[in-house]
Structures are given as structure tokens and as C-alpha cells.
């Protein structure tokens, strides 16, 4: 499970005295614990990779926005620190589907559901999220689904 991998990496980074990685991994652990509290579980569910991937994606998105703002503000040292955190966080994300694989998955779901137009976009997106949530960037997938259903 990703949660266990993060804890093991945190211990390894602490032993290696890698303060930047330790800081990033502590932020990740804290965000995951906060998400657990929000979900009122208090502990990790049996298969929580979906929850952890959701948290990690959100953290990466926040840091990319920060990098952009720091670059515009002329603060390259802060942008570099954020980029280092992004690299640590992305190491725990599962491999993403390529655009071609995403289109193939969309077409398979479209055929399976009998989707014919944009009115079926919600059903296709729901099924796509159910099957591939951990391996897709849903914002990119949304644009691809819209294009496949419109064309």
C-alpha cells in the first residue's frame, strides 16, 4: 500500500538525515491523516490507495500552483523548494496512463455503456473514475471524454 511505502521512505530519509525529504514526507503523512479525519475513519481503511492518491494529487497540484506564483514573483529559490517537494510526492503516485491508453479506455467504456453524445458524459466519467481513478489525471480525461463523445 502507498501509505506503508510513504512511512518506510520517511524512516529511510530520517536515517539518511535528508531533511528536505523528511519535511516533504511529514507533510504528506499529515495530509493523509487529515483526510482520514475528514472521512471520520480515524484509521486507514483496508484498501486506501485511492484515498492516498487523491491526497497526493491534490498536494502536487497545490505545489505546481505555488511554483508558478513564485516564478512570476521572482522567487526562484522558493520555486525550487516546491519543485523538490513535487518530486518526492510524485515518487509515490502510480504510473499514469498515456493519452493513447486513456483514449482506448474511454472508447471501451463508451462502447460498453452505449454512450452516443455529450449527454452521456457523466456516466462515462463515473465509470472511468471507478476503473482508473488512481492512474488518470481526471481533468485531462474529462477533456478527452468530451472530445470522444462530441466527435
Give residue-wise pLDDT tens across range 37-91: 887 755 555 557 888 888 998 999 999 999 999 999 999 999 999 999 999 999 9
Question: Using CA atoms, how far apart are residues 151 and 147, in angstroms rounded to an integer?
Answer: 6
Centre a 10 Å sphere on the Cβ of residue 86 and count the other Cβ atoms it contains.
19
Of 110, 123, 64, 126, whose CA–CA distance to 89 is shortest? 64
Question: Using CA atoms, how far apart are residues 21 and 81, in angstroms rounded to an integer?
Answer: 11
Q: What does the pLDDT read at residue 38?
A: 81
* pTM (predicted TM-score): 0.76
Q: What does the pLDDT read at residue 71?
A: 96
Question: Using CA atoms, how far apart are residues 151 and 89, in angstroms rounded to an integer?
Answer: 36
Q: Are 149 and 114 in contact (CB under 8 A)?
A: no
List the domains of the chain with CATH numbers: 2-90 (1.10.1510.10), 99-150 (1.10.10.410)
Amino acid at each position: 500500500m502507498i501509505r506503508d511505502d510513504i512511512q518506510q521512505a520517511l524512516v529511510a530519509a530520517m536515517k539518511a538525515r535528508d531533511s528536505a525529504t523528511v519535511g516533504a514526507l511529514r507533510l504528506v503523512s499529515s495530509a493523509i491523516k487529515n483526510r482520514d479525519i475528514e472521512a471520520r475513519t480515524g484509521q486507514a481503511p483496508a484498501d486506501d490507495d485511492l484515498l492516498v492518491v487523491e491526497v497526493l494529487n491534490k498536494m502536487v497540484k497545490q505545489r505546481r500552483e505555488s511554483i508558478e506564483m513564485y516564478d512570476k514573483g521572482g522567487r526562484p529559490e522558493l520555486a525550487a523548494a516546491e519543485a523538490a517537494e513535487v518530486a518526492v510526492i510524485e515518487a509515490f503516485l502510480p504510473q499514469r496512463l498515456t493519452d493513447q491508453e486513456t483514449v482506448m479506455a474511454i472508447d471501451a467504456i463508451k462502447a460498453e455503456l452505449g454512450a452516443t453524445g455529450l449527454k452521456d458524459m457523466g456516466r462515462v466519467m463515473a465509470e472511468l473514475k471507478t476503473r482508473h481513478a488512481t492512474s488518470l489525471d481526471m481533468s485531462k480525461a474529462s477533456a478527452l471524454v468530451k472530445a470522444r463523445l462530441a466527435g
